[in-house]
Amino acid sequence: MQIIVGTTESNDCQISIEKAAALSVCIEDEQNNPYAQHLRGLIKDFCEREGVSAKVLLRDKGALDFCVLARLKTAVERMGK
Amino acid sequence: MRRSLLFIPGNNPGNIQNAGLFGADGVIFDLEDAVNPNQKDAARNLVCSALEHLDYECEKICRINLEFAHEDISALASTNIDTLLIPKAACVEQIGELIDFCARLNERIKIMLLIESPAGILNAKELAALPNVSALCLGAEDYTSEMGATRSEEGAEIAYARAHLLNVCKAAKIDAIDTPYTDASNEAGLIKDTMHIKALGFDGKLAINPRHIDAIHSCFAPSVQEVIWAQNVIAAIKEAEAKNSGVIALGGKMIDAPVVARARKILELKEVL
């Protein structure tokens, strides 16, 4: 089941997550987001540290790291490992 | 110093990342009324993450949910939060248990209690005496609703609550914080209300609008007349001491210890500002 956390308001982000056999991270509109590589690393590091195996989609609306990590943490908690 | 404590919605990243920019003496990250019931976990994680990653130069306060108090406290105990604001404080045993729970996880965290019911006002003395309580705050909207009263600009309907809470706080030597002024567009009303509660003896005021911060601070700043009076009091004391005079007077009025204490407080506040 897909879990969606966060909003598409400015300074926020939306994380969609669903369980998968392997971790995959997708950044929406990646080519127009100068922080895409950083955000991908942030999400991968968190998921690997927490042992999360899932398909993750980030819809970024200018979120700072603290927000991305919080939304991701909530999404993972709601999904259940 | 707690002249102004600004509420910040706990599930709004934009507001949270800018919370320290408004110059309030404290920011209150709100996990309670400002957050939808189905987003409590998201807000809790967002506030904890902000505390871990962002720097705030003011007092960092979090209003928790009474309903989810143990979950909120458990999450916040491992952050650098300064103070927890516990809402709907009325039952001494219930609040005492939560304070004890918090102290066992992190004894550094201070407690503020939001008194917003007739029962809370009646129990204010016992609530103020609980460990780690550093302030009582008045929440007038819920209080007047429960009283069946109508909120007015003059505030006669909360005069008793203000006076009782203030007396309890002064006796317990903790801060007394007044209810927010809710009309965002009426600055004249805000100034009148803040000057009134400052004259009563309140230490600060809750705020729900960043635009209110400067006005609140200007009300709490000592006036030119107050500073001149305080300087004259201190000068009169020094002169009397130099002359070994036992009786000190200024403008025909005797200066005693409470007057000196008030003068020193005014000058200390001027130095800080």
Q: What is the pLDDT of residues B207-246, one digit of tens each?
A: 999 999 999 999 999 888 889 999 988 888 888 888 777 6
Looking at residue A81, its pLDDT comes to 57
Element of type H or E holding A6: strand A3-6
Of A70, A77, A78, the CB nearest to B46: A70
Kindly list the residues from chain A whose CB atom is less than 8 angstroms away from the CB atom of residue B17.
Answer: 11, 64, 66-67
Kindly list the residues from chain A whose CB atom is less than 8 angstroms away from the CB atom of residue B42.
Answer: 5-6, 70-71, 74
CA distances B129 to B6, B70, B111, B126, B201, Å, are 25, 21, 11, 5, 20
A12 and B41 within 8 Å at the Cβ level: the answer is: no
Number of CB pairs < 8 Å for A and B? 50
Looking at residue B51, its pLDDT comes to 98
B14 and A64 within 8 Å at the Cβ level: the answer is: no
Q: Which of B95, B96, B105 is nearest to B73 (CA)?
A: B105
pLDDT (tens digit, 9 = 90+) per residue, B91-121?
Answer: 999 999 999 999 999 999 999 999 999 999 9
Residues counted in chain A: 81
B42 and A9 within 8 Å at the Cβ level: the answer is: no
This complex has an ipTM of 0.95
Residue pair B195/B219 in contact by the 8 Å Cβ criterion: yes
| Contact residues of A toward B, CB < 8 A | 5-6, 9-12, 63-67, 69-71, 73-74, 77-78
Quote helix, strand, coil % in chain B, to nearest 5: 50, 15, 30
Tokens 């669903």, residue located: A18
**Residues β-bridged to residue A3:** A17
Q: Is residue B21 less than 8 Å (CB to CB) from chain A?
A: no
Of A10, A65, A74, the CB nearest to B45: A74
Sign of the dihedral through C-alpha B167, B58, B3, B184: negative
- What 3 state SS string does A17-69 have? EEECCCCEEEECCHHHCCCHHHHHHHHHHHHHHHCCCEEEEEEECCCCHHHHH
- What pTM was computed for the model? 0.90
Please report, in angstroms and rounded to a whole number, the separation of the first and last CA atoms in chain B: 11
Of B12, B42, B54, the CB nearest to A66: B54
How far is B125 from B244, CA to CA, in rounded Å?
A: 43
Q: Which of A69, A45, A66, A47 is nearest to A56 (CA)?
A: A47
B53 and A63 within 8 Å at the Cβ level: the answer is: no
pLDDT (tens digit, 9 = 90+) per residue, B138-160?
Answer: 999 999 999 999 999 999 999 99
Most A CBs within 10 A among B16, B39, B48, B49, hence the mutation to make, goes to B49
If one compares B256 and B68, the residue with the highest pLDDT of the two is: B68
* DSSP SS3 for B27: strand
Looking at residue B23, its pLDDT comes to 94
In chain A, which stretches have pLDDT less than 70?
81
